[in-house]
Amino acid sequence: MATTPQPTAALKALAKTVFLENKLSNGHKSVHDQTRKQLFTQMVGLALDRFTFETKDQDNKKLVLEVELGTPQVPGIDTAKLRTLVTDEVFMAIITATKKAVEDLAGKETAVLCEITKPGTTNVTVKPAK
């Protein structure tokens, strides 16, 4: 009868660490998301687009933060233009595809010709000031 390989103590320790760190990370992500939503809502309510302020980090070192409310521009594909540049078969294959799939199926040059920039989701960013 063949024996089934058994996990080592080190392997069990790694698995435990992955589980516990993931649980901790999920908790931090939840707090981050809720806090960011509150920051966004309050900035919109105050009609405040940006501000910079000085604070301290967790090591009590000076930290200057820049907070900005904005809508990023995200790339997309102009499907009307794409329609005129590729065959029916290629167009149907990529009409719901990602930009990478458009490049793969119609060629990078065609994807570049059809690339557009459109507004993404408005949100707030907080980063170290320059």
Give residue-wise pLDDT tens across range 21-62: 988 999 999 999 999 999 999 999 999 999 999 999 999 999
β-partners of residue 74 are 118
Q: What is the pLDDT of residues 108-130, one digit of tens each?
A: 998 888 888 777 787 766 777 78
List of residues 6+ apart from 75 with CB closer than 8 A: 99, 115, 116, 117
Instruction: Considering only residues 96 and 11, tell me which one the structure prediction assigns the higher pLDDT.
Output: 11
Q: What's the predicted TM-score (pTM) here?
A: 0.55
Whether residue 1 is predicted with pLDDT greater than 70 in this model: the reply is: no
Q: Amino acid letter at 94?
A: I
Where b means 16+ CB within 10 Å and e means fewer, 57-81 reads: eeeeeeeeeebebeeeeeeebeeee
For 56-77, what is the mean pLDDT? 90
Structure-block tokens of residue 70: 């904005």
